[in-house]
C-alpha cells in the first residue's frame, strides 16, 4: 500500500487494493475469471460493511479472506465430488488467516499473466487495464478508440482464453518477460494516461492509477535495467507527472500547459526523468517511449511556451510518426507544425485526420482545431469547435475548460454564448 488507510477514502482504498487481491486469489486458485468475480463480491461487501463497522486493521487481508471464501463456495458448487472436495480442503485450510505477503509483487505478476502470448496484443492490454487498472469497459474503449460493445467482447474472450489455456500465475523468466514486454509497457502507459487525465468523471486525474503505473514501471526497470524503452517509459511518466500540481486550480479546474505556473513543477522528478532519457537515447535502439520522453523533457526544461524549442519537438514527432500509426501522435504533430509553421499549416493536417474513424468523433480533435482556429484569428469557428469538443468529452474538468474557452471568445466577439 502507498499510504495509510486512514488517509484515503474507502473507494480509493478498494481501487488500490483490488489488483493486489486479484493477484493473490489467482495465484492460489488459478482461475482468473472466477477470481475477479470473487474479488468484486469481496469489494462489494467491504463497501457495505466498512462504512458501518470501520476499516479493518489489515484491509488487504480482509479482502483476501472474503474472496477466498467466495472462491471455495464457487469450487464446491462447480467441482466434481471427490477430486475437487480434496482441492477445496487444501484451499480452505488457511482461509481464516490468509497470507498478506506479496509474492514477487502480485500486481506485477498479474500484469505479466494478462499479457501472455496466448492472448492477442490488444486483448492482453484490455484485460490488464480491467484487472490491474480497475478501468471500466467504457474507459478502456475510450483509450483504444473503439465502441464499448467491441471492447466488452474483447475482454470477455480474453478471460475465457486465460481460463482454458492454464496460464500459470508466476513471474516469467527473462526470456518470457522480453516476449511480453511490449504489451506490458503499453498497459502501464495507458494506466498512467488514464490516471493523469481521467477520460470520465468529475476529477481531472486519478492519482492512484498514475502513481501505481510509475511504481510498476520502476519494478519492470529493475528487472530489465538495460532496456532503453523501459527507461524511456519511466522517464516519460516522471516528466509528465512532474507538472501535476500546476495542472488544476484549487477548485479542480483544468489549466492548460501554456498557462501553468512552472515554478510548481516537480524539479526532482524532472531531473530524474531527464537523466533517464539522456542515458537511454545513446544506447541505439530508439523507440516511441524514448521519443515521447524526449519531447516531454523539452517542455519541462523550457521556461515558457514561447521559449520552448518547437522545431526540435516537431522533428521528434516526425520521427515518432514513422514508428507509430497512433492518430494521437499525428494530432500532436499537427500542433507542433502549427507552432513552427503557423496555425494554417496545422489546420490543413487536421483536415486529413478528420477522415480517420479512430479520431473523427474524439473530443481532442475538435479541441485542437478550436485552439488553432483561435490562433489563426477565426474566433467564430473556434467557438463552435470548442463547444463541439465539450459535448464529446466525458471529463467534467475538460468540458468546463472547453466551455470556458468558448465563453471567453464569445465575450470578446460579442457573440451570444449558449451552453450545451
Q: In the prediction, which pLDDT does 363 show?
A: 93
Q: Report CA dihedral (217, 59, 194, 134) to the nearest 10 degrees.
A: 100
Cell digits for 111? 500484469
For residue 315, tell me if it sits in a domain.
Answer: no
Per-residue HEC secondary structure of 144-172 comes to HCCCHHHHHHHHHHHHHHHHHHCCCCCCC
Which residues have C-beta within 8 Å of that of residue 376, sequence separation ≥ 6? 342, 343, 344, 347
Q: Please list the pLDDT of the chain residue by residue as tens digits (420 residues).
A: 344 444 458 887 887 788 778 877 877 776 777 788 888 888 888 888 888 888 888 888 898 888 888 888 777 766 544 454 454 444 444 444 444 444 447 788 888 888 877 888 788 888 888 877 777 888 888 877 788 888 888 888 888 887 777 777 677 888 888 888 888 898 899 889 988 998 888 888 888 888 889 988 998 998 889 899 999 999 999 999 999 999 999 888 999 999 999 999 999 999 999 999 999 998 878 999 999 999 999 999 999 999 999 999 999 999 999 998 889 999 999 999 999 999 999 999 999 888 888 888 899 999 999 999 999 999 999 999 999 999 999 889 999 999 999 999 998 877 655 443
Tell which residue, 72, 106, 55, has the closest CA to residue 212: 106
For residue 291, tell me if it sits in a domain.
Answer: no
199 and 142 in contact (C-beta within 8 Å)? Answer: yes
For residue 10, tell me if it sits in a domain.
Answer: yes
For residue 309, tell me if it sits in a domain.
Answer: no
4: buried, middle or exposed (CB in 10 Å: 19+, 13-18, 0-12)? exposed
Overall size of the chain counted in residues? 420
For residue 48, tell me if it sits in a domain.
Answer: yes
Q: Which residues pair with 201 in a beta bridge?
A: 395
The residue segments making up the domain with residue 62 are 5-92
For residue 46, tell me if it sits in a domain.
Answer: yes
Rg (CA), the chain: 23
For residue 30, tell me if it sits in a domain.
Answer: yes
pTM check: above 0.85: no
For residue 33, tell me if it sits in a domain.
Answer: yes
- CA 266/CA 315 separation, integer angstroms: 26
Q: How many angstroms from the chain centroid is the CA of residue 180? A: 18
Q: In the prediction, which pLDDT does 19 show?
A: 79
170 and 109 in contact (C-beta within 8 Å)? Answer: yes
Which residues have C-beta within 8 Å of that of residue 72, sequence separation ≥ 6? 88, 91, 92, 95
Q: Provide the number of structural domains found in the chain.
A: 1
Amino acid at each position: 500500500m502507498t499510504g495509510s488507510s486512514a488517509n484515503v477514502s474507502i473507494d480509493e482504498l478498494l481501487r488500490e487494493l483490488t489488483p493486489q487481491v486479484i493477484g493473490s486469489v489467482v495465484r492460489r486458485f488459478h482461475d482468473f475469471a472466477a477470481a475477479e468475480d470473487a474479488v468484486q463480491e469481496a469489494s462489494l461487501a467491504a463497501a457495505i460493511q466498512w462504512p458501518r463497522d470501520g476499516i479493518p486493521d489489515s484491509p488487504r487481508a480482509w479482502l483476501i479472506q472474503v474472496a477466498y471464501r467466495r472462491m471455495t463456495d464457487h469450487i464446491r458448487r462447480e467441482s466434481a465430488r471427490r477430486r475437487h472436495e480434496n482441492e477445496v480442503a487444501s484451499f480452505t485450510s488457511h482461509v481464516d488467516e490468509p497470507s498478506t505477503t506479496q509474492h514477487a509483487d502480485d500486481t506485477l505478476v498479474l500484469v505479466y499473466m494478462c499479457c501472455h502470448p496466448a492472448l492477442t496484443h490488444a486483448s492482453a492490454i484490455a484485460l490488464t487495464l480491467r484487472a490491474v487498472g480497475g478501468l471500466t469497459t467504457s474507459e478502456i474503449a475510450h483509450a483504444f478508440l473503439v465502441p464499448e460493445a467491441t471492447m466488452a467482447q474483447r475482454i470477455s474472450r480474453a478471460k475465457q482464453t486465460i481460463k482454458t489455456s492454464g496460464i500459470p500465475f508466476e513471474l516469467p523468466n527473462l526470456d518470457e518477460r522480453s516476449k511480453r514486454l511490449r504489451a506490458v509497457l503499453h498497459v502501464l502507459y495507458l494506466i498512467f494516461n488514464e490516471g493523469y487525465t481521467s477520460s470520465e468523471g468529475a476529477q481531472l486525474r486519478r492519482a492512484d492509477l498514475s502513481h501505481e503505473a510509475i511504481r510498476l514501471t520502476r519494478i519492470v526497470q529493475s528487472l530489465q535495467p538495460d532496456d532503453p524503452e523501459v527507461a524511456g517509459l519511466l522517464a516519460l511518466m516522471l516528466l509528465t507527472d512532474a507538472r501535476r500540481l500546476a495542472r488544476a486550480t484549487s477548485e479542480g479546474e483544468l489549466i492548460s500547459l501554456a498557462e501553468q505556473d512552472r515554478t510548481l513543477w516537480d524539479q526532482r522528478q524532472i531531473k530524474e526523468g531527464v537523466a533517464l532519457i539522456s542515458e537511454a537515447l545513446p544506447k541505439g535502439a530508439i523507440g516511441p517511449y524514448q521519443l515521447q520522453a524526449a519531447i516531454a523533457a523539452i517542455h519541462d526544461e523550457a521556461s515558457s511556451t514561447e521559449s520552448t524549442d518547437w522545431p526540435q519537438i516537431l522533428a521528434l514527432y516526425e520521427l515518432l510518426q514513422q514508428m507509430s500509426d497512433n492518430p494521437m501522435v499525428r494530432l500532436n504533430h499537427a500542433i507542433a507544425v502549427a507552432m513552427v509553421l503557423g496555425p494554417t499549416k496545422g489546420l490543413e493536417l487536421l483536415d486529413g485526420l478528420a477522415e480517420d474513424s479512430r479520431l473523427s468523433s474524439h473530443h481532442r480533435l475538435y479541441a485542437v482545431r478550436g485552439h488553432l482556429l483561435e490562433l489563426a484569428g477565426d474566433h467564430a469557428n473556434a467557438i463552435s469547435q470548442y463547444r463541439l469538443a465539450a459535448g464529446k468529452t466525458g471529463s467534467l474538468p475538460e468540458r468546463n475548460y472547453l466551455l470556458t474557452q468558448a465563453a471567453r471568445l464569445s465575450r470578446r466577439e460579442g457573440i451570444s454564448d449558449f451552453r450545451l
